[in-house]
Amino acid sequence: MELVFLGTGAGVPAKERNVSSAALVMPEHQGEMWLFDCGEATQQQILRTKVTLPKVKHIFISHMHGDHIFGLPGLLGSRSFQVKDEPLTIYGPKGIKRFVQEALRSSNTHLQYPLEIIEVEDGAGYEIGAMTVTVRRLEHGIPCYGYRVSEADKPGTLLVDKLQAEGVEPGPIYKQFKEQATVTLADGRTLNSADFIGDAKKGKHLAVIGDTRLCDAASELARDVDVLVHEATFMDHQAEAARQFHHSTAKQAAETAKAAGAASLILTHISSRYKDSSQDLLVEAQASFANSYLAEDLWSYTF
């Protein structure tokens, strides 16, 4: 899987950073792509990456502030020029359905593909193919949600050498070992399939934390994930401002990653006040959690 960061800034677009959006690219799942937030000019950023609108099947919106949603109507309309029957589902807080429907209606935009809009609630869970998406409400000035994406474990590989040692030669019978609990051979022996299947490959786990104060819900979503994407709007010396405006510091993001047992942390939602000193945010995070990264627009991370 790969995360492609389309916008990593906070509040308003800047020369160095567009506003919030990231894409999850999944070549191992038919190349499907998901978006997390869709700030202004997200589709312009997409044109400079491997992300393609026909492959975007699900969009997850954290909250209704403009820097996270103003790019959505235009992107939906542009997608309609490229696909006719590829459905799209939007997940987001209460109000996202009205926002999208009113924007499309007032602009006389008619989509050529099925669109479903789901307004999420705290604790909701969704099964999407091999993925489970868990939703938790964070602590922001308006309802804001974080998302955990959990990939199902993949079956282990067939232990061909072990089968051949039992006299089971390659053929259609191998498929039975993958699909059945036991297999009866031509000579009458019955073998347990589990004895001939390697260990399952652990699925990938990702948490995307939108705008929030330090909170337990973020830690719960991030428990043992491969990657935690977390806002870092302030530095620690401005922790009181972060609390006042319902945001986090880079240090708090790192503390969340450490407490949750995350494997890696990616900082995003960077304020333009740090346009010349953004590396200071990374230094601050790495002091508490070494495996921290600072997202930049159009940067990608494979995990």
Burial of 79 (0-12, 13-18, 19+ CB in 10 A): buried
Say which of 37, 67, 211, 297 is annotated catalytic.
67
Are 250 and 236 in contact, with CB atoms under 8 Å apart? yes
Strand partners of residue 151: 131
Strand partners of residue 165: none
Output phi, psi for 23, to 5 deg.
-115, 140
Beta strand segments in the chain, E:
2-7, 21-26, 32-36, 56-60, 88-92, 115-119, 125-128, 131-137, 145-151, 182-184, 190-192, 205-209, 227-231, 265-268, 292-294, 300-302
Distance of CA 214 to the CA centre of its chain: 20
- The question of whether 67 is a catalytic residue gets the answer yes
Q: Nearest-CA neighbor of 118 among 147, 96, 151, 135? A: 96
Active site members: 67
